[in-house]
Amino acid sequence: MENLQGGDDEPHALPGFPYFSMPSPPAVLDAPPSLSPDDNQHGALAALQQASAAACNSLQLPPLGPDQLATVAPTMILPPMVDWPSLLQQAGLMVGSPPVPGLHLHQQAAAAAQQLDQSGENDCGEAAAGSSGGTGNKEKARISGAGRSSSSGKKKVSRPRFAFQTRSANDILDDGYRWRKYGQKAVKNSAHPRSYYRCTHHTCNVKKQVQRLAKDTSIVVTTYEGVHNHPCEKLMEALSPILKQLQFLSQF
DNA sequence: CGATTTTGACCTGCGC
DNA sequence: GCGCAGGTCAAAATCG
């Protein structure tokens, strides 16, 4: 069952961070077409900003500016994107070089992976080097491992990956999604095991790996693999009362 | 009692 | 061919 919709080219990925994407159309809210007058749109924008602030507050994140709100179409209202790299950078949690504007995240991830490789921590670094040079043997092993229960010999599907480091006492970074641990492995040259998580959403096949650096155990390396095909639950939880209010107001 | 975690076994690819 | 390492599975244990 390898039907990762999205797959190679993430069609639903919004700019900013490829792993936090919304399905299209979003299953959240269908605003009526009567929401076109200016005053209504201003009200909607204000409500969106309010919703964004509430969501960010619930996630203990810095609020996003109005230009960062993901309003895709007049009939669609999406929650604000959570740009983890920059947010973590702002919060001083992210270790390593800041994201380079204009450089795709995949390339940045590859660069981060190279940094890891150079520092001798290639255990997690390779996980982030999905698109670039590095050997694909682990990728193949992963595919084949998954293929044990399903059809074997499937075409290798390259999935978007993104790795970043955070300095935290907590191994688990609360990104708003729900994860289920499905494995843990001791990693060579590291006292700390690597944990494997899968998104618990039934149609979502996103995975992530969490591991502490051997050299600096205060640093957690999180590697995301794949694209979420459903809304962030915490965000939607925070947004739902406001969206309901919006829906109610838009009737007039 | 369902969801989640733990953990040993299993599978595959690669290097020697 | 063999051993190693990484990734995944799945049964048992644990939790809320």
CATH code (residue A201):
2.20.25.80
Burial of residue A141 (CB within 10 Å: 0-12, 13-18, 19+) is exposed
For residue A206, give its domain range.
158-251
Residue A144 has pLDDT above 50, yes or no: no
Chain B nucleotides with an atom closer than 7 Å to a protein C-beta:
3-15
Whether A48 is in a domain gets the answer no
Whether A171 is in a domain gets the answer yes
Task: Note the pLDDT tens digit of each residue in A100-129.
Answer: 444 444 444 444 444 444 333 333 333 333
Whether A183 is in a domain gets the answer yes
Q: How many domains does chain A have?
A: 1
Task: Note the pLDDT tens digit of each residue in A184-204.
Answer: 999 888 888 999 999 988 788
Whether A167 is in a domain gets the answer yes
Nucleotide nearest to A139 (CA to C1'): C7
Closest CA relative to residue A97, chosen from A16, A162, A165? A165
Residue type, A81: M
Residue A2 CA and nucleotide C16 C1' are separated, in Å, by 32
Chain C nucleotides with an atom closer than 7 Å to a protein C-beta:
4-10
Does the C-beta of A161 come within 7 A of strand C? no
Whether A177 is in a domain gets the answer yes
Nucleotide nearest to A190 (CA to C1'): C5
Residue A232 CA and nucleotide B6 C1' are separated, in Å, by 27
Residue A69 CA and nucleotide C3 C1' are separated, in Å, by 53
Give the pLDDT score at A244.
73
Q: Give the whole-angstrom CA distance, residue A121 versus residue A112.
A: 11
